[in-house]
Structure 1
Amino acid sequence: MSDHGDSPGHTFPTDRSRNDRPDSFPHEIGYDGHRDHFQPEPPQSFPGGTIINAQNVNHRYGETGIHILHRAVALEALYDSAESFPQPRCHPETRTEILDDLYNWAVGDSTYLIRWLHGPAGAGKSAIMQTLCQRLKEAGRLGGAFFFKRGHATRGNAKVLFATLAYQLALHHRKLNAPISRSAETDPSVVGRGMDVQLYSLIVEPCKLLRDPAPLILLIDGLDECEGLNVQQEILRLIAFIAHNRSLRLKFLIASRPEAHIREEFEEDSFQELYDSVNVEQSFDDIRKYLRDEFTRIHREHQHTMGNIPTPWPSTETLNHLVRKSSGYFIYASTIIRFIDDKGFRPTKRLESIQNLSSGDSDSPFAALDQLYLQILS
């Protein structure tokens, strides 16, 4: 697919041969988040000919655009936020194949500008995303990240999703700092506007000025945890819309459960030739390595109660049993380790209590996990 240049009047460059996509960016023609449904949104006119969108945004006189963004964005949603400490990261020497694949896509010259990392709850998607964020930051290729969390005041919705990503772009990349800051200073209300306005004003317009051939990566984790199924779909439509302009030098990695409405959106024509999907499959070998390493650490750090326990602990038979019960999902394995690692209890006794659990005839890791949680709460 060829690159497209900028067209006059701030119209967004697209290929009219594909599905008659509109030439203007969504917010300029009243995009309301529904495919093929565009309605004009009447602006509010004030004396002096200034046209603004009515928003209750407090702007302190003389404040820089970066400070405006800082006060408005969801800092808790950043990959290295204090709230998420300790951040979930992939255990050393696990998930290496999928991490290398995603990293090579991010820094390489790929046809696909969007990748969808999908898998069930507990499969380790967030740990993969956190680990990849760190690698991309070290390589100077991290644009920004947003980690959704269901029900959270700021991480549970998309009100400042693109403003938060823009804030990180401005901090991480010197050439984007001034244009992003200028956009927020020119219209401080942008941080309270719709997602399409935030995306266009704070990301698309500033990124048009970038001439660096190396793309920047924007990561969105837990899309399915964002409030509103329609909002989740609108996020994907907006990303697909701007991804058709390859001159922006942006790539997107989106992680979520494989919910039907998300899968259907990715299967729309607007995503064809733009994205590739990555399935976070079960990984028994990685689970076994994780459990063995963590049990070795627990044995070492609990010397006052484990000094007389021979190694390797536990036995290979016990370890294999736990690996089978996990069904390849890290959430089961990590919950076991947190339970056994409690400094107030003997690890051997806690392991015995887990071994004595019964989940009936089900091989589901979630049935086993339910029993484990009941044991923890008892």
Structure 2
Amino acid sequence: MPFLTSYETILALEQGRERPSISNPVQHPPAPVPPTRVQDATDTYPDAFNSTYPQPVIKYLLERGKPAAIHDSSARAYPPLCHPDTCKTLRGRVVQWGMGDGDERILWILGPAAVGKSAVAQTVAEEFKRARRLGASFFFSRPNHLDNPDWVIPTIIYQLVTRNREYKCIVTQCLVDDILILDKNHSTQFRELIIEPFCILMTQYPHTVQEPLLIILDGLDKCKDKEAQCEFIDLINSHSWQVPLRWMICSRPNWLLMTVLSNPDFMVTCRCEELSICDEEVQQDAQRLLEVKFDKIWQKYRDRLPVDWPPGYQWWRIAFIASGHLSFASFILRFIGDKEYDDPDGQLKACMTFLKGGRTVGPISPLHTLDDLYCQVLSDVPANILSTTMRILGLVIIDRHGLNSANDQARFLGLNQVTFRRALQNLHSVVYVLPIEESNTTPLHTYHASFSDFLKDSNCSGQFYLDWEAAKYDFALQCLHWFESNGKT
């Protein structure tokens, strides 16, 4: 692609002026003719880097992107973060990968809902920014309406142009050549505004790209266009080998993304890390988080709390139920330490009542944030198959140890495999769904008991309430059919 147009055109765009008209040229002092091959962007476009001038290119990118999705945006004033003593092993592997020179250009962190992926992504973003190795970040969020795929590439480009002035000059040139480029498809934007400019940097300004930059996409599964989710993965995978960029992607295991991960060709360039609540270190992290945060609450209210607060049996009860679910522990701690109530002991007692299956005093459940997340997951299930999904969930909760495999569970409910899997395709973040080739050996199960409790409590689940009596009746009826079809009485 031709890199240079007129020197004056670039300056005009950078200084906020209209592009010069051929029929009515702008009067200006004679300027030196720029070289045909750019040796140094600062020398060629000196005013492009003068901060006293307006920056219409950056403003244009901001208008087309979504700065609220950047890791250090004011919209994310209190983002989830890893405690310094949690997820240390995983974060260490991420840093080693991101700072190293291995061939794996993509790191995919996979994990169920609310297990702490965003906290890891946020912490890594801050660590890499301090090391001057962060290129860009985009944190998807449905509750905050940060889920439009059209915002992703402009937001990434905006961050890159603020970090590399040579790259800024090249992107400015691209926008001068084609001001409508951000109205084109994602593939064109990605290729012409990210990949090709970095290829130019590598050949003409190699000193500016000696170390790879990290780009983080957190919550890719929350992108509202499922086809766009796969498109971004395909674009990154197809071009990652060409440029000094590394991509860290965090997501729940939805069925579309799992299909991509199952491709052996993709795994050649991708490294996968799984964040599981069953992992021993994650369970220890949850306990460590409880220790640290409870101590912080006690320090704040030490004038009214006993030295042994909270009582050991209550601490262990919460730790046992959390069972490695970092977000579960965080939500409980946030409820107990809520400064609006200013009564940690009273909140702890309400929390213990809730965890024993009773109702809390007050309008808010200790896990209301987790409830919102579960509602969001279930809202993705198509309405025409939701009733089938709820039947499957009812069976999973009632019959925890009876049926030996997912295939048996499908047959028990009288469902063929196509219907059974379609009903589950949006639940991979809350229900452990085995690959089809393994579905004859292990049954479905929920990742955490809080999801089962949510379904059985109409105050929490609302429209997704699992009618417990109807579920038990369906189970009993299917038992009769099962015994009849298997010749048992």
Instruction: Mark yes or no: TM-score above 0.5.
Output: yes
Could you tell me which residue of structure 2 aligns to residue 100 of structure 1? 92
User: Which of the numbers 223, 228, 231 marks the counterpart of 1:231?
Assistant: 228
User: Which of the numbers 305, 326, 331 marks the counterpart of 1:330?
Assistant: 326
CA contact (8 A) 1:113 1:251 kept: yes
Aligned-pair Cα RMSD in Å: 2.7
How far, CA to CA, are the matches of 1:284 and 1:60 in structure 2? 59
Letter in 1 for 2:152: L
Percent of residue pairs identical: 27
Give the superposition deviation at 1:336: 0.9
Which structure 2 residues correspond to residues 333-372 of structure 1 after superposition, within 5 A? 333-343=329-339, 344-357=341-354, 358-359=356-357, 364-367=449-452
Answer yes or no: is 1:199 the counterpart of 2:190: yes
How far, CA to CA, are the matches of 1:171 and 1:201 in structure 2? 18
How far, CA to CA, are the matches of 1:116 and 1:143 in structure 2? 17
Which structure 2 residues correspond to residues 267-278 of structure 1 after superposition, within 5 A? 267-278=262-273
CA contact (8 A) 2:137 2:215 kept: yes
CA contact (8 A) 2:98 2:246 kept: yes
Alpha-carbon deviations, 1:299-329, whole Å to 9, x = none? 12234xxx24222421332212111111211
CA contact (8 A) 1:64 1:185 kept: no
CA contact (8 A) 2:109 2:275 kept: yes
Give the superposition deviation at 1:269: 4.7
CA contact (8 A) 1:354 1:372 kept: no
Q: Count how many residue pairs are aligned between Structure 1 and Structure 2.
A: 315
Could you tell me which residue of structure 2 aligns to residue 251 of structure 1? 246
- 1:199/1:60 CA distance change after superposition, 3 Å: farther
For residue 92 of structure 1, give the secondary structure of its aligned residue in structure 2. Answer: coil
CA contact (8 A) 1:327 1:365 kept: no
Could you tell me which residue of structure 2 aligns to residue 64 of structure 1? 56
Give the superposition deviation at 1:104: 1.0
Could you tell me which residue of structure 2 aligns to residue 321 of structure 1? 317
Gap runs ≥5 in structure 1: 1-7, 11-58
How far, CA to CA, are the matches of 2:457 and 2:75 in structure 1? 26
CA contact (8 A) 1:163 1:199 kept: no
For residue 128 of structure 2, give the secondary structure of its aligned residue in structure 1. Answer: helix
Give the superposition deviation at 1:81: 1.1
Q: Relative CO higher for 1 or 2, CA cutoff 8 Å, sep ≥ 6?
A: 1
How far, CA to CA, are the matches of 1:233 and 1:148 in structure 2? 15
Answer yes or no: is 1:179 the counterpart of 2:178: no
Whose Rg is larger?
2
CA contact (8 A) 2:69 2:139 kept: yes
How far, CA to CA, are the matches of 2:292 and 2:270 in structure 1? 36
- 1:321/1:60 CA distance change after superposition, 3 Å: farther
Moved more, 170-179 or 95-104: 170-179
CA contact (8 A) 1:156 1:227 kept: yes
- 1:259/1:359 CA distance change after superposition, 3 Å: farther
For residue 334 of structure 1, give the secondary structure of its aligned residue in structure 2. Answer: helix
Task: Provide TM-score, normalisation by structure 1.
Answer: 0.77
How far, CA to CA, are the matches of 1:372 and 1:79 in structure 2? 35
CA contact (8 A) 2:62 2:154 kept: no
Which structure: greater helix fraction?
Answer: 2
Moved more, 269-278 or 251-260: 269-278
- 1:233/1:180 CA distance change after superposition, 3 Å: same
Task: Provide TM-score, normalisation by structure 2.
Answer: 0.60
Letter in 1 for 2:161: A
